[in-house]
Structure 1
Amino acid sequence: MKDIQKSTDLRGIDIQHVGIKDAHLPFLIKTKAGDFQQVVARILFTVSLPKEYKGTHMSRFLEILQQWCDKPVAEEEMEAMLQDALHHLEAKTAKLRLSFKYFVEKKAPESGRKSVLDLDCFFEGEKSAGTPMAFRLGVTVPATSLCPCSKAISRYGAHNQRSLLQAVVEFKPSVPCIFIEELSTLIEEQASCPIYPLLKREDEKYVTEKAYERPKFVEDILRDLVLALRPLPGLFWFSLACENFESIHNHSAYASHEEYVHDEALTIHKERTD
Structure 2
Amino acid sequence: MQDIQSGPSDVALAIDRVGVKGLKAPLTVRDRARGEQHTVASVDLAVDLPAEFKGTHMSRFVEALGQWSGGLDFASCKRLLADLRERLQASSAHARFAFPYFVTRAAPVSGSVGPMHFDCLLDGELSGDKLVFTLRVEVPVMTVCPCSKAISLEGAHSQRALVRIACRSKSFFWIEELVEIAEAAGSSRVYSLLKREDEKFVTEASFANPCFVEDVVRAAAKRLAEDGRFTWFRVECESQESIHNHAAYASIQLPGPAGP
Q: TM-score, normalised by structure 2?
A: 0.95
Residue of structure 2 equivalent to 1:252:
247
Report the alpha carbon displacement of residue 42 of structure 1 after superposing the two structures with TM: 1.2
Residue of structure 2 equivalent to 1:122:
121
Query: 1 CA distance for matches of 2:229 and 2:175?
Result: 16
- 2:100 paired with 1:101: yes
Alignment of 1:184-263 (within 5 A): 184-260=179-255
Query: 2 CA distance for matches of 1:115 and 1:56?
Result: 45
Query: 2 CA distance for matches of 1:36 and 1:132?
Result: 28
The match for 1:183 among 178, 181, 196 is 178
Report the alpha carbon displacement of residue 10 of structure 1 after superposing the two structures with TM: 4.7
Query: 1 CA distance for matches of 2:193 and 2:102?
Result: 14
- Give identity over the alignment, percent: 41
Distance 1:34-1:92 versus aligned 2 partners, 3 A rule: farther
Report the alpha carbon displacement of residue 248 of structure 1 after superposing the two structures with TM: 0.7
Query: 2 CA distance for matches of 1:40 and 1:137?
Result: 16
Residue of structure 1 equivalent to 2:32:
32
Report the alpha carbon displacement of residue 73 of structure 1 after superposing the two structures with TM: 1.7
Report the alpha carbon displacement of residue 222 of structure 1 after superposing the two structures with TM: 1.1
Residue of structure 2 equivalent to 1:62:
62
Letter in 1 for 2:220: L
- Root-mean-square deviation (CA, aligned residues, Å) is 1.7
Letter in 2 for 1:171: S
Report the alpha carbon displacement of residue 29 of structure 1 after superposing the two structures with TM: 1.7
Unaligned runs of 5+ residues in structure 2 are none
- 2:159 paired with 1:161: yes
Query: 1 CA distance for matches of 2:228 and 2:254?
Result: 15
| Cα offsets for 1:104-135 (capped at 9, x unmatched) | 11111111111111111011101113x14100
| Secondary structure of 1:198 counterpart | coil
Distance 1:34-1:208 versus aligned 2 partners, 3 A rule: closer
Letter in 1 for 2:95: L
Letter in 2 for 1:238: F
Identify the range of structure 1 (26-35 vs 178-187) with the bigger mean alpha-carbon deviation. Answer: 26-35
| Secondary structure of 1:187 counterpart | helix
Report the alpha carbon displacement of residue 232 of structure 1 after superposing the two structures with TM: 2.0
| Secondary structure of 2:48 counterpart | strand
Query: 1 CA distance for matches of 2:246 and 2:70?
Result: 43
| Cα offsets for 1:147-188 (capped at 9, x unmatched) | 00111011121110001100000113xx22x21111101111
Query: 2 CA distance for matches of 1:194 and 1:118?
Result: 13
Report if the CA contact (8 A) 1:36-1:72 is conserved: no
Query: 1 CA distance for matches of 2:15 and 2:141?
Result: 40
Unaligned runs of 5+ residues in structure 1 are none
Letter in 2 for 1:237: W
Query: 2 CA distance for matches of 1:35 and 1:42?
Result: 22
Report if the CA contact (8 A) 2:26-2:70 is conserved: no
Residue of structure 1 equivalent to 2:43:
43
Query: 2 CA distance for matches of 1:62 and 1:228?
Result: 39
Report the alpha carbon displacement of residue 87 of structure 1 after superposing the two structures with TM: 0.8
Query: 1 CA distance for matches of 2:145 and 2:88?
Result: 52
Q: TM-score, normalised by structure 1?
A: 0.90
| Cα offsets for 1:175-228 (capped at 9, x unmatched) | 22x211111011111100000111111111110011010000111111111111
Query: 2 CA distance for matches of 1:60 and 1:125?
Result: 18
Query: 1 CA distance for matches of 2:237 and 2:115?
Result: 22
- 2:6 paired with 1:11: no
Letter in 2 for 1:253: A
Query: 2 CA distance for matches of 1:234 and 1:190?
Result: 19
Report if the CA contact (8 A) 1:29-1:36 is conserved: yes
